Amino acid sequence: MTDSLPLCPECASEHAYELGTLLVCPMCGHEWAPVADADGEDADDPVIRDAVGNPLADGDTVTVIKDLKIKGSSTVIKVGTKVRGIRLVQGVGDHDIDCKVDGVGPTQLKSSVVKKV
């Protein structure tokens, strides 16, 4: 059915229909491009990449490519540490990976210091 199509932004008609990649309103003739939000192709959501440019996804396993000192503690995440089941987040600053590191616990990493396994 077509009940998932949006209302016309011009006249709020609910009779808009798809014409190729556009939506067309038969009531006022307005044509517009639908906003991609249901299929995960949202252009506002930048791809997070690891240090060598591989796109990362939730659940990926990565290794740390350099020693990382944890802020506010003496703990260091050693180079080569394997981190399983990462979660991509909009963290503080450049921190865009939420994860749990063995021996360290929950922390956040920058995608620029990890490499996808």
Taking the least distance from each CB to Zn ion, the nearer of 25 and 88 is 25
Q: Is 11 in the site for Zn ion (CB under 5 A)?
A: yes
**Residue 25 neighbours by CB distance under 10 Å:** 20
User: DSSP of the chain, one letter per residue?
Assistant: --TTSPPPTTT--S--EEETTEEE-TTT--EEPPP--SSS--TTSPPPB-TTSPBP-TT--EEESS-EEPTTSS-EEPTT-EE-S-EE---STTEEEEEEETTTEEEEEEGGGEEE-
Q: Is 10 in the site for Zn ion (CB under 5 A)?
A: yes
Please state the closest distance from residue 14 (CB atom) to Zn ion, in A: 10
Please state the closest distance from residue 6 (CB atom) to Zn ion, in A: 11
Taking the least distance from each CB to Zn ion, the nearer of 8 and 99 is 8
Q: What character string, x for contact with Zn ion (CB under 5 A) and - otherwise, covers 22-51?
A: ---x-xx-x---------------------
Choose one: 12-20, 33-41, 48-56, 61-69; the region binding Zn ion (CB under 5 A).
Answer: 12-20
Contact 45, 37 (CB under 8 A): no
Please state the closest distance from residue 11 (CB atom) to Zn ion, in A: 3
Q: Give contact residues for Zn ion (rule: CB under 5 A).
A: 8, 10-11, 13, 25, 27-28, 30
